[in-house]
Chain A
Amino acid sequence: MDTSPNLDAAFSAMADPTRRAILARLAKGEATVMELTAPFEMTQPAISQHLKVLEEAGLVVRRVQGTKRPRRLAKGGIEAMDQWLAMLRKALERNYDRLDEVLASMEKPKEGEKR
């Protein structure tokens, strides 16, 4: 799909926790830079810089509304996040796969043994 971002650029952009938080906020709906800045202890220029990285990675788009430039998730951004989440889910499943092995190696307590 031609709206898909370059995944390397997308994952690289998402490697930063602030940018992930911005994406998460935008997943809830369109927001202005001011609204995006509010939850962070960062300046607007710093947030704008993060937005620029996200836009260049094809994850976020802006539109013009008077003097405002509200941002929203790009279609490709949602796809990239799905893939990021699949990766995270895999790590979560890895935890429990490891736990399966731990459980398999555990000994059943002897009859009457107090624990």
Chain B
Amino acid sequence: MSKLTLKTEGDTHVVVTRRFAAPPEFVYRAHTDPKLLQKWLLGPDGWTMPVCINEARPGGKFRYEWTNVKGGGFHITGEYLELEPHSRIVHVERMHLPDPTPDNHVETRFDVDGTGTLMTIRMTLPDAQTRAAMLATGMEGGMEASYVRLEELIYNSSRHGTQLGKQAHS
């Protein structure tokens, strides 16, 4: 079963959901503890995150740097606006390529779902044009946000608001 869903909302939102077998506390920690983030937030094979700075407190900053075996790389910086352990994170982030992209405002919720967790990521992008510019870059590192931006933009053309939570080709 595909646990991942992706859908668009309006012109500027993207909503991603994913279920996890672990309780919200674990999923929350995996999103805020640098040592844990470095284990999974990597995108395609061949990429690593040598730098992972994460000040998980309101007003705190984070910085993730990715690099691949070919010597490519980019980084993301962001600031935490709200943190409600272990249920909700609100942050803004931007990619540096090296010029910064406009801010992406992201709310991530971790809700109890049976014995596991339903994670809901809601992204708000400034506008459609900005989104188009953002997706021009940043996908090499496999950042989920950029995938979502791309997908939404493409699918919006003909399937606006379509549920995209289908199984990936494998």
Q: Which residues of B contact A (CB under 8 A)?
A: 2-4, 6, 18, 20-22, 25-27, 29-30, 36, 39-45, 85, 128-129, 132-133, 135-140, 142, 144, 147-148, 150-151, 153-154, 156-158, 168-170
Residues of A within 8 A of B135 (CB): 20-21, 24
Report the interface size class on chain A. Answer: 35 or more
Q: B4–A88 contact, CB under 8 A?
A: no
Stretch at the interface among A2-10, A51-59, A89-97: A89-97
Of residues 1 to 48 in A, which have CB atoms within 8 Å of B's CB atoms?
17-18, 20-21, 23-25, 27-29, 39-40
| CA A24 to CA B30, docked complex, whole Å | 32
A106 interface residue (CB < 8 Å to B): yes
Q: A64 in the interface, Cβ–Cβ < 8 Å?
A: no
Contact A104 B22 (CB under 8 A): yes
Query: In angstroms, how far is the closest chain A Cβ from the Cβ of B39?
Result: 5
With contacts A99-B20, A102-B36 taken as known, whether A24 is within 8 angstroms of B150 at the C-beta atoms is yes
Shortest C-beta distance, B58 to chain A (Å), equals 17
